[in-house]
Amino acid sequence: MEGEREAVGVVGVGWVGLVTATCFAELGHPIVALDVNAEKVESLRRGEITIHEPGLAELLTANSERITFTTSMDEVLAATRLLFCCVDTPPTYSGDADLSRVRSVVAQLPEGSEHALVMKSTVPSGTGASIRRDKPDLRYVSCPEFLKEGSAIQDFMHPDRVVVGADAGSEDSADAVESLYEPLGGEIVRTDVASAEMIKLASNAFLATKISFINEIANVCEQTGADVTEVARGMGLDERIGASFLQAGIGYGGSCFPKDVSALKQLAGNSGYHFQLLNAVIEVNELQKRRVIAKLEKHLGSLADKRIALLGLAFKPDTDDMREASSLVLSARLQGEGAEVVAYDPVASGSAGSMLPEVEMASSASAALERADAAVLVTEWPEFAELDWASVRESMASPILIDGRNYLDGVELRAAGFVYDGIGRPDPPDGT
Ligand code: UGA
């Protein structure tokens, strides 16, 4: 039975590639996964993974016999017909996406063969067309990924939708991609390449807009006495709005939203359109990361020589990813004000160390909070909700807690003697 399943090639075994390879293997497909980094390939062959994604290591081990890791494109081409391109497309200084890795994959593909390039990497709208201008006979399918870090396996196995974009000459390959995803049950959106590319960028830009919108509402709530969590609950019940991505906080980060919003803005600009809304989305997000400074100053006055504890560093829980994490801007700003910064993250402390050279890394949340003049919850890791806050309070120099994710129970913390300040949540009038 298994021998009948289509073999799948995966090019680029970063986070997207490894999740894609592992999940297709779990569905029974033989996988040949390539990376140019020989060291990474060696460690994957030994079953070692360096990224933190819940369930991934276990699923990889369970499917190790179906996955071959290689550095040889010839090996991929010999064994597979569909090549999922999962290389990264980081932002350049101009805000455009860097497509050099994509181009180097395309350069290695034989034209006029049965092989098809299935683009998973996030690329600007128009990339597929430009690749096919250079290689008119190349079969090309756009199949953007919508996985979230921290829940990637669940997202892969239960997609809301699968977008499959193909133009004339690549329909057979698109049919083959559709068949791969059919067992997962999500609605398949079959469309042209340019629209598929735009669906990805527009989806991320819309979600980022939703976050910046609720963050601005939170800032207004602080002026007017409303509670943004109540406002979001009331808004989210409207089906047209939806409840997700309405959590106010200290800004979005990660490898996707900042990059994709900027790439879409740049793409629009390059084609002669000024995308005004996205400028505001980006600016609001930048300012949101810094608002915590004013909150701390409100309670402490000058931050010079104050010891500030950061709880969480990763851009969100269940990942060790520090790319564009709000903690980076926040800690640098705190240091700019002369504060001493101590931090703890359950998994990202190690990867964050080199990015935060002057920050003292604590071995636990309680250790980070000892002698702190204030604490800022940056990432909503569940273990922070389970801390024994009453005894933590005794060890702090002053019990000031800024909850950058509105994650903790403010009423309980105030009752335990904390000065608790969330985002868009004013103090209750009765002081409770
Ligand atoms: C995002 C998208 O959600 C995925 O659909 C997409 O596939 C992925 O980018 C990508 O392009 O690869 P991800 O960056 O993993 O996924 O994380 P999200 O869960 O979307 O969170 C992004 C940031 O927004 C985090 O910093 C998070 O804390 C923040 N956020 C999220 C909020 O501040 N408020 C919210 O209500 C939701």
- Output the pLDDT for position 58: 96
CB 59 within 8 A of CB 66: no
Q: What is the mean pLDDT of residues 307-335?
A: 95
Whether residue 2 is predicted with pLDDT greater than 50 in this model: the reply is: no
CB 318 within 8 A of CB 356: no
- Output the pLDDT for position 429: 60
Q: What is the CA(379)–ligand 1 centre distance, in A?
A: 13
Confidence of residue 363 (pLDDT cuts 50, 70, 90): very high
Q: What is the mean pLDDT of residues 5-17?
A: 96
* Tally of CB atoms within 10 A around 346: 20
Please name the residue that has the structure tokens 């209750």: 428
Tell me how far apart the alpha carbons of residues 32 and 20 are, in angstroms, rounded to a whole number: 11
- Residue of 207, 216, 255, 345 to mutate, ligand 1, most atoms within 8 A of C-beta: 207
Q: What is the CA(84)–ligand 1 centre distance, in A?
A: 23
Please name the residue that has the structure tokens 């047209």: 240
Q: What is the mean pLDDT of residues 48-76?
A: 95
Q: To 10 degrees, what angle do helices 276-300 and 257-270 make?
A: 140
86 is catalytic: no
Encoded tokens for 269: 């600009």
Would the CB of 253 count as within 6 Å of ligand 1? Answer: yes
Q: What is the CA(286)–ligand 1 centre distance, in A?
A: 16
Tell me how far apart the alpha carbons of residues 159 and 223 are, in angstroms, rounded to a whole number: 40
Task: Give the model confidence (pLDDT) of 178-191 as tens digits.
Answer: 999 999 999 999 99
- Output the pLDDT for position 349: 87
Confidence of residue 112 (pLDDT cuts 50, 70, 90): confident
Would the CB of 245 count as within 6 Å of ligand 1? Answer: yes
Q: What is the mean pLDDT of residues 36-54?
A: 93
Q: What is the mean pLDDT of residues 417-422?
A: 96
The ligand 1 atom at the shortest distance from the C-alpha of residue 379 is 28
- Output the pLDDT for position 92: 85
pLDDT, averaged across the chain:
94
Tell me how far apart the alpha carbons of residues 319 and 20 are, in angstroms, rounded to a whole number: 17
Q: What is the mean pLDDT of residues 55-59?
A: 96
CA 48 to chain centre: 22
Whether residue 432 is predicted with pLDDT greater than 80 in this model: the reply is: no
Whether residue 145 is predicted with pLDDT greater than 90 in this model: the reply is: yes
Tell me how far apart the alpha carbons of residues 46 and 69 are, in angstroms, rounded to a whole number: 10
- Output the pLDDT for position 430: 57
Whether residue 254 is predicted with pLDDT greater than 90 in this model: the reply is: yes
- Output the pLDDT for position 346: 95
CB 118 within 8 A of CB 87: no
Strands of 187-191's sheet in order across: 67-70, 31-34, 8-11, 82-85, 116-119, 139-142, 161-166, 187-191
Tell me how far apart the alpha carbons of residues 136 and 300 are, in angstroms, rounded to a whole number: 64
Q: What is the CA(257)–ligand 1 centre distance, in A?
A: 7
The ligand 1 atom at the shortest distance from the C-alpha of residue 145 is 7
Would the CB of 249 count as within 6 Å of ligand 1? Answer: yes
CB 291 within 8 A of CB 219: yes
- Output the pLDDT for position 426: 83
- Output the pLDDT for position 110: 87
Task: Give the model confidence (pLDDT) of 255-294 as tens digits.
Answer: 899 999 999 999 999 999 999 999 999 999 999 999 999 9
- Output the pLDDT for position 174: 98
- Residue of 120, 151, 204 to mutate, ligand 1, most atoms within 8 A of C-beta: 204
- Output the pLDDT for position 231: 98
The ligand 1 atom at the shortest distance from the C-alpha of residue 148 is 15
Nearest CA to ligand 1 atom 2: 148
- Output the pLDDT for position 1: 42
Encoded tokens for 53: 């994604």
Distances (CA, A) of 180 to 64, 142, 184, 289, 293: 19, 14, 9, 41, 49
Tell me how far apart the alpha carbons of residues 124 and 201 are, in angstroms, rounded to a whole number: 8
CB 312 within 8 A of CB 319: no
Whether residue 304 is predicted with pLDDT greater than 70 in this model: the reply is: yes
